[in-house]
Structure 1
Amino acid sequence: LFLGMMHFQDKYNEDLERLQRCDIHYVTPDLRIVPFCAFNVIPEWYRDRIQKKYSITVEEWEEREGVKLEDGLYRGLMRRGAGDELAAGCAKSQMFHEASQAVM
C-alpha cells in the first residue's frame, strides 16, 4: 500500500520541513531527484531550467522517432463521426446499438 502526500507550495508558503517529508519525487533526465513539493515552488530553480534544457518541438521529436505524434492518438467516435457507434468496441456501444434497434 502506497500512501502519498503532496503539499502545494509556492514562494509565499515554502516550508523546508515539509520538503524534507515529501515522499513523491521527480527524477530529472540528468538523474537528479527533486521533491514534488519543491519542483514548482520557485520555477526558475527546477521546472523552467529542466524544461528549457531538455524540451524539443513536436517536429523535432517526430523526425527523431520516425513517427507522427498524431498517429498515436486514440481514434474514438469523435473522429469517426456519428453512425459508427459499434466501432468503439465497448459494452456501452453495444447496449446503445441494441436499444436503438429495439426502438425502430
Structure 2
Amino acid sequence: MKIARWMFAFLTLAAVLVWAQRDRGVAPPRELPTWEYLHLQPQEIGVGEYQQVSWYQVTALGAQGWELISVTPWVLRNDLHKPQKEGESRLVTQNYVAYYFKRQRPEQR
C-alpha cells in the first residue's frame, strides 16, 4: 500500500510538472515591443573595389532613432604591393565593415 501511495504521489507530481511546462501560445503578447532592423554595408564600386560606409550615414541613422547594435567585417581585401625600391612585395589588408541597427517598430493601429 505504501508503494501505491508513493507511486500515485510521484505520478501526480509528474503530471503537474508537465502541465506547468505547456506552450502558452506562439505569438508574443501585444505589450511586447517589436523591432525593425537595418544594415549599412560597403558598396562595390568596381571589380574588387569597395567604398567604406561614411560616418555621416551612421550618425544620420542614429538621429532618426536607430540604435547601432553591431559592427562586423564585411570584406577583407588583401593586395600585394611592391615597394618603391626593389625588394619583396608586402601584403596590404584593407578592412571594410558593415553596421547593423535596430529600432522599435511604431505601433500599428
TM-score, L = length of structure 2: 0.18
TM-score, L = length of structure 1: 0.18
Greater relative CO, 1 or 2 (CA 8 Å, sep 6+): 2
Structure with the higher strand share, 1 or 2: 2
Specify the structure having the higher radius of gyration (Cα): 2
Structure with the higher helix share, 1 or 2: 1
